[in-house]
A and B are shown apart, each in its own frame.
Chain A
Amino acid sequence: ILNVEQSPQSLHVQEGDSTNFTCSFPSSNFYALHWYRWETAKSPEALFVMTLNGDEKKKGRISATLNTREGYSYLYIKGSQPEDSATYLCASPGYSTLTFGKGTMLLVSP
């Protein structure tokens, strides 16, 4: 069983602020790192699947980086909007299963 840790546990920012969260995972036997966004009462939605060390992916105002050697990934949100309020989950390896972190709950106030 792998230990996937996320920090901070929760975050409250004002509209327009930029923010970032961290996901740390065991660096040995790495396969992939997933980021999901989960809004209340909705399905978790995949944001990124990252596999290569040094990978950087972007979707609109959200981007993520990956360091497999040291076992961490950062998720950045530029100019947060109230609709970004959600729990952001990362999930990582074994070969055919995902182990999820506990998530970072983001609240963006207007």
Chain B
Amino acid sequence: DTEVTQTPKHLVMGMTNKKSLKCEQHMGHRAMYWYKQKAKKPPELMFVYSYEKLSINESVPSRFSPECPNSSLLNLHLHALQPEDSALYLCASSLLAGVPNEQFFGPGTRLTVL
């Protein structure tokens, strides 16, 4: 299984809602990533987990809360988001953290905040 899966594919939420994005991989990868991609811009790194521990937080607002319950799962909890947070959220994994490692991406969750 060389796939990274993400659910849901699409999500519409209000500014007062709480929702979660989920990401799963069964390739035995020990590094997992969240990226945010706005239209016509490159993906921007948000968080990196290495061996289920948060290793990088790229100054992301606290309304985004990542969680890595085990080595196969990565969640992104959303609360009190703003309309400008509407974007494609991509999850990725790699064998280990570190730039020479190829990253495998999921298809993304398209988030709209009303």
Contact = CB atoms under 8 A, between A and B. Distances in A.
Contacts of A99: 42, 45
Prevailing SS type, chain A contact patch: loop
A73 B104 CA distance: 21
Interface in B9-61: 40-45, 48, 50, 55-56, 58
Q: Which size class do A's interface residues fall under?
A: 20 to 34
B29 to A, nearest CB: 13
Interface stretch (A14-22, A58-66, A75-83, A100-108): A100-108
B102 A46 contact: yes
Given A96-B99, A98-B99, A43 B40 contact: no
B97 interface: yes
B105 A44 contact: yes
Given A96-B55, A96-B56, A101-B42, A44 B90 contact: yes
Contacts of B90: 43-44
